[in-house]
Amino acid sequence: MPEPVNPVTFPPAFLWGAATSAYQIEGAVREDGRTPSIWDTFSHTPGKTAGGEHGDIAVDHYHRYRDDVKLMADLGLTAYRFSVSWSRVQPTGRGPAVQRGLDFYRRLVDELLEHNIKPAVTLYHWDLPQELEDAGGWPERETALRFAEYAQIMGEALGDRVEQWITLNEPWCSAFLGYASGVHAPGRTEPLASLRAAHHLNLAHGLGTSALRASMPARNTVAVSLNSSVVRPLSQTPADLAAVQKIDDLANGVFHGPMLHGAYPETLFAATSSLTDWSYVLDGDLALINQPLDALGLNYYTPTLVSAAEEKPSGPRADGHGASDFSPWPAADDVLFHQSPGERTEMGWSIDPTGLHDLIMRYTKMAPGLPIYVTENGAAYDDKPESDGRVHDPERIAYLHGHLRAVRRAIAEGADVRGYFLWSLMDNFEWAYGYGKRFGAVYVDYATLARTPKSSALWYGRAARSGTLPPAGLE
């Protein structure tokens, strides 16, 4: 008989979660005092999203949250990461909170706790109040100051019941997709503004961290979720390795440098000197940004493969970040992006769990002793119900199995990974792609908004309840 295969078992306290964001699921964009965010404006601008689709209704989580929480509980999830709509609780991005908006999140948190699901609150997942963008947005320092005020409001409102907090989700996307390539809201294409935005997002993180800690119990934890890129060279030539350094600085060092080490990479300053002298980094900023973290969130989907370009690249960039005539990589026109080998998801992203392992181990070495959560990981597939109404998605099961094995391998090698949040709980508004890309473990019929757990949700639920990975072929 063949030797039995040892099961892939996770630590007993490991959190098994799923993640969402406010604009992608809530809907109710004009209810209870909420005012437009940059994503409301962007998605209602012709030509910005696939089919002109928007999040006005999304999947109506604002009205269906109780059913959605019960669904999570039925699956066996132990944690849920969601974001707060800033303009729902502080409509102009300044001044007093709207209690009706806060009350929605109070009710959601209470419902989660009643079902023994640990809430993890993300303060900012890309939906800046439009009035703050009208005043200049993230390229302006004032926006970081307003974020600190908002963080204090949320800490005071929910800090007694929510222990896990995340300041920003993927600030790289906010800065560079929003202000450089323009494929995300607010849709600006200004390379200098994108670098200014990156700094002020860093500052918002630091000020927000301090504001949270001042407004809630000391037991609570504060983290940030970075979509740090795993940047690999096409070859080992000095030119290709220099390309890796440039993109690593723009993707990773621009955020983890000041957040974790209190300094920007000198190589970043040199690479972007044609655009800026970084004089908007004021004395004392780096100390404000470099607040001690209680944990680090890492979001991972696919690695990045680059080489030096012999001449300025032309045609679409294979960086996986949408189509635009404007690059999200300021002062990096001498870098060429390549499609990584292997099978791909519906996003065109290659599937490579080794990247998640490598990312975790990099930050384990960079910030020893800092707990890590995988705050996003998942895949989009063209899921369709079968005649019996069930939705089978074996590709997603294989994706999750491979990436969770990579997480367990990192734990075995000494990484302190304490939880995994599948992206996403359910199908939703996928930003500029509209409703055409389905990342959910739960299928949503957009005509009726009915929810149906896919086979991957049931598989993931078995993993959550047992702490052990079922076989990838088990649906």
- Burial profile 196-210: b = 16 or more Cβ within 10 angstroms, e = fewer: bbbbbbbbbbbbbbb
CA distances from 456 to 76, 119, 406, 445, 461 (A): 13, 22, 18, 17, 8
Rounded to an integer, what distance in angstroms lies between the CA atom of residue 55 and that of residue 443? 17
Structure-derived torsion over alpha carbons of residues 402, 347, 25, 14, reported in degrees to the nearest 10? 10
| Residue type (1 letter), 99 | Q
Q: Checking DSSP bridges between strand 417-423 and strand 231-233, what pairing results, if any?
A: unpaired
Please tell me the total number of residues recorded for the chain in this structure: 475
Cα separation of the two ends of the chain: 25
Residues with catalytic annotation? 170, 376
Rounded to an integer, what distance in angstroms lies between the CA atom of residue 397 and that of residue 390? 15
Rounded to an integer, what distance in angstroms lies between the CA atom of residue 41 and that of residue 124? 17
Strand partners, 25: none
Q: Which helix (H) or strand (E) holds 31?
A: none
Distance of CA 440 to the CA centre of its chain: 15
Decide: 453 and 49 in contact? Cβ < 8 Å. Answer: no
Q: Which two tokens stand for residue 171?
A: 């600030």
